[in-house]
Copies of this chain bind each other. A is one copy, B any other.
Amino acid sequence: MSQFDDTFEDLNSYLYNRLKQEIWNQVYQHGTKLRQEHLAKEYGVSRTPILRVLERLTAENILEYVPRRGFFVKRLSLDEMLNIFALREVLDGAAAKACALHASDEDIEEIRQFFAKFQGKWSSDLEQEYVIVDQQFHSRLTKLSGNKLLQEINDSFSINQFSYQKGLMRPPIETLAEHQSIIHAIVERDPLKAQLLAMEHIQKSMENIRLRFDEHKFPNR
């Protein structure tokens, strides 16, 4: 795995990946303060390399830094969540458009196969797998757009972490159809259509968040 390479290559990026992963996995809850000494002990290093990582994750908007107080796992308000989706709308739109324009035929063929295994009946296992493939699909489109900035932005600002949280996803049946139609537009090399469909796709997810929030006031915090 690439995580192992990082281990030997460079302590800094190893710690970075590890902490980011643990935040992702909710080892540290939203709002938690990350004490430097604690992390240092946990990872068997001193505070110095920890601080570098904290600084970096802060710049990526995954942590929040309050001078003289410390670093906290960022807790997202409804507004911030909606902002993320408003952003994803245009980013994923741009990625889909660029794919339709620039991706190679082989890459497009690969995309076409992405959801092949989800044609039959749904099972609980399959639904779980779908969440992963969904995420891979979006990240693949971003990659194939050829715009590295798009990738970097998606990795920052908690965008990916947040978008695929448990409890926020729409039912696969809904989103599968949307994914298929985006793929279709890309296969047809119709940039505008791909863009608009990708944007609608995210808009609907955004609407979903809004609804859930209104209902349960969110089981978070």
Contact = CB atoms under 8 A, between A and B. Distances in A.
Interface stretch (A34-42, A86-94, A124-132): A86-94
Interface string A52-93: 100110111100000100000000000010011011011101
A9 interface: yes
Interface in A1-58: 9-10, 12-13, 48, 51-52, 55-56, 58
- The interface residues of chain A, by DSSP majority, are classed as helix
Counting chain B CB atoms within 10 Å of each CB, the highest count among A48, A93, A153, A157 belongs to A153
Contacts of A56: 55-56, 58-59
Interface in A180-216: none
Contacts of A86: 94, 98, 147, 149
A150 interface: yes
Nearest to A93: B90
Interface string A151-166: 0110011000000000
A170 interface: no
B9 A61 contact: no
A149 B83 contact: yes
Nearest to A98: B86
Contact of A152 (B61, B94, B147, B150): B61
A156 B87 contact: no
B87 A149 contact: yes
Contacts of A153: 87, 153, 157
Interface of A: 9-10, 12-13, 48, 51-52, 55-56, 58-61, 67, 80, 83-84, 86-87, 89-91, 93-94, 98, 147-150, 152-153, 156-157
Q: In the A-B complex, list the 6 residue pairs whose CB atoms are closest, starting with the nearest.
A: A59-B59, A90-B90, A10-B67, A55-B55, A56-B59, A83-B149
